[in-house]
A and B are shown apart, each in its own frame.
Chain A
Amino acid sequence: MSKRIDVKDLNVYYGKFLAVEGVNINIDARSVTAFIGPSGCGKSTFLRTLNRMHEVLPGARVEGEVLLDGDNLYAQGVDPVTVRSQIGMVFQRPNPFPTMSIRDNVLAGVKLNNRRISKSDADALVEKSLQGANLWNEVKDRLNKPGSGLSGGQQQRLCIARAIAVQPDVILMDEPCSALDPISTLAVEDLINELKENYTVVIVTHNMQQAARVSDKTAFFNIAGAGKPGKLIEYADTQTIFSNPSVKATEDYVSGRFG
């Protein structure tokens, strides 16, 4: 199921503006990798290049390679839609589809693509995905109620259930807990720990404690100044980054001296 990601010399541009420069990173399968760094340093932009979601913004383009188990996402003739169906994404703000019920939200990836699915298969998929997102017990009696009626934390777990229902190889999370209260955050963090048994998880976070709690490896991004490109400064085991970083800027950041 899960696949590894290798990035080689990646530059990300918005029009002529170089947003992220020269990223090389190897992300293991079945692991949790956290991206940390100050605001505006390009970690979200970089995350979005991993499933070609940055292309939604006009003028965005990349140079370099992103290999998913050796296949370049940016090779000629690669369909971004195929890429996105293998690399799912969870966003900063929970965004369930307001017109759909909880059940339909989970099945969105199947139904929106008009794939035929029998009712029993659909029921099984809904239960499996919601259980995978630790939400089944809370919503099993109201699957036909609208998804927007759930609390923020439940909505975010619903979005995670929706992402894993399409059975991706990799799940990208862009600050998934920044709009949630501490208890919902805990629920999502527990979930991330369970997800890594089956999936490769990459998470962007502003919360260093969260990075320390959930991730196996941590990447620190930084920016030299306004208008300069963001760069990957250091990438190592989470333990190393937080206790014994080799770069001064990383140490300053994780010890709270700036950022």
Chain B
Amino acid sequence: MATATTTIARKRSALTRGQLPSYAPWAVVAAAVILAAAIMALVGFNALGWGVLSAVLFTIGLVTWSAAAEGSRKAKDKLATCLVVGSFLIAVLPLVSVVWIVLVNGLPGLVTPGFLGTSMNGISGLQDNTSVNTGSRVLGGIYHSLMGTLLITLWATVISVPIGLLTSVYLVEYGNDRALARAIRFFVDVMTGIPSIVAGLFAAALFAAISGPGTKTGFVAAVALSVLMIPVVVRSSEEMLKIVPNELREAAYALGVRKWRTILKVVIPTAISGIASGVTLAIARVIGETAPILVTAGFATKINMDVFSGWMSSLPTFIYTQILNPTSPANPGPSVQRAWAAALVLIIMVMLLNLGARLVARFFAPKTGR
């Protein structure tokens, strides 16, 4: 019995079209960079122009080549990819450059011994002039401002979180789109947009009415910051409470659990990871505020751990005063160095807070696994 075999004649597949070789993007990059360098050499070289021109030439080159070799659909795809990646690079550039500049300018001050552990108490133009003239290390530090920032932010959090969380519980669980709930939502939105200096003036005026004009303490600053923080906490917690499935509430009700217990023991624990990270981000939002602290807590050079009396310094106001009124007007160098180092510390704190928010979210997230 003969076996019939069919041999299909080899031909070009009808399913494929022309393709760019895999080295194509690298070749175009190389060509674009060289060409851009040549053009820049003619008109006068600068790095930024070179980068931008290279990117533009790369896009044109790759898209044209792709259109010729692969057809218009692939070319459009390449063009869109180039635009998306380009936008991403533009967006990330300022961020990287801020971190880089603060790192470069702040590190020398930060590694100076005693910078984190001493205050500016007793540091005057005299010491700064000496350290510039003799080349000895810059004296003075940010201990008082660091403690001020931590204490003021802590008190602001203590004030804002209960108010914000309870407000969002009202909005989600009891509000039912009533007129009061709608009004609260509207005013929270308005509060999100008020300039921070207005919050500072509000707190200053409030405490001027309560305990006499010119009352400047850390607590007044904390009240000012909590005015800024509450709307953020309300908004983020509201979103988190909203996404708790209604089925869980019904499950609890069906077991004969009262509404307040359901909220306390089912709804909030289910949403706690989102609420905690929202609170952390709200803290990160207010920790760098300058203007409201300047008008409510003043600025100090001594360590003051009592938020209820006396002026207090914080990192942003420390940076502000060091830059604007250098300790030694003749030699602002040491003050500038301290300001940059304080800025670096502030950025590190905000980064740690964001990192903490992620850890908190992961720690509290509903457990999975078998």
Interface residues of A (CB under 8 A from B): 51, 53, 56, 58, 81-82, 84-86, 88-89, 91, 93, 95-99, 101, 108-109, 111-114, 142, 145-146, 148-150, 159, 162-163, 166
Contacts and interface: CB of A to CB of B under 8 A. Distances in A.
B258 A81 contact: yes
Nearest to B369: A149
Given A91-B251, A95-B251, A99-B270, A112 B369 contact: no
Nearest to A113: B257
B255 to A, nearest CB: 4
Contacts of A88: 254-255
B261 A114 contact: yes
Nearest to B261: A112
Given A97-B251, A98-B366, A113-B258, 12 more contacts: A56-B253, A81-B257, A88-B254, A91-B250, A95-B247, A96-B251, A98-B367, A99-B266, A99-B367, A112-B261, A113-B257, A148-B368
Nearest to B266: A97
B258 A163 contact: no
CB-based closest 8 A-B pairs? A85-B256, A98-B366, A89-B254, A149-B370, A109-B255, A95-B247, A146-B367, A84-B256
Contacts of B369: 145-146, 149
B21 to A, nearest CB: 49
B245 interface: yes
A112 B368 contact: no
Contact of B176 (A58, A84, A85, A91): A58
A150 B255 CA distance: 21
26 contacts: A53-B253, A56-B249, A56-B253, A81-B256, A82-B256, A85-B256, A88-B255, A89-B250, A89-B254, A93-B247, A97-B251, A97-B252, A97-B266, A98-B270, A98-B367, A99-B270, A99-B366, A108-B252, A109-B256, A112-B262, A113-B257, A142-B370, A146-B366, A159-B251, A163-B255, A166-B256
B209 to A, nearest CB: 42
Contacts of A149: 368-370
B252 A112 contact: yes
B204 to A, nearest CB: 43
Contacts of A162: 251, 255
B256 A113 contact: yes
Contacts of B367: 98-99, 101, 146, 148
B265 A112 contact: yes
B38 to A, nearest CB: 62
Contacts of B247: 91, 93, 95
Contacts of A148: 366-368
A108 B366 contact: no
A145 B255 contact: no
Given A146-B368, A148-B366, A97 B255 contact: no
Binding site secondary structure of chain B: helix
Nearest to B247: A95
Interface residues of B, number: 25
A88 B257 CA distance: 11
Contacts of A85: 255-256
Contacts of A163: 254-255
Nearest to B272: A99
A56 B250 contact: yes
Interface in B44-83: none
Contacts of B255: 84-85, 88, 108-109, 112, 162-163, 166
Contacts of A95: 245, 247-248, 250-251
B125 interface: no
Interface in B149-177: 176
A116 to B, nearest CB: 15
Contacts of A84: 253-256
B257 A97 contact: no
Interface in B233-275: 245, 247-258, 261-262, 265-266, 269-270
Contacts of B254: 51, 53, 84, 88-89, 91, 163
A85 to B, nearest CB: 3
B319 to A, nearest CB: 42
Contacts of A166: 255-256
A145 B265 contact: no
Max chain B C-beta neighbours (<10 A), residue from A98, A111, A159 = A98
A108 B369 CA distance: 20
A93 B243 CA distance: 17
Nearest to A159: B251
Nearest to A114: B261
B182 to A, nearest CB: 15
Nearest to A94: B247
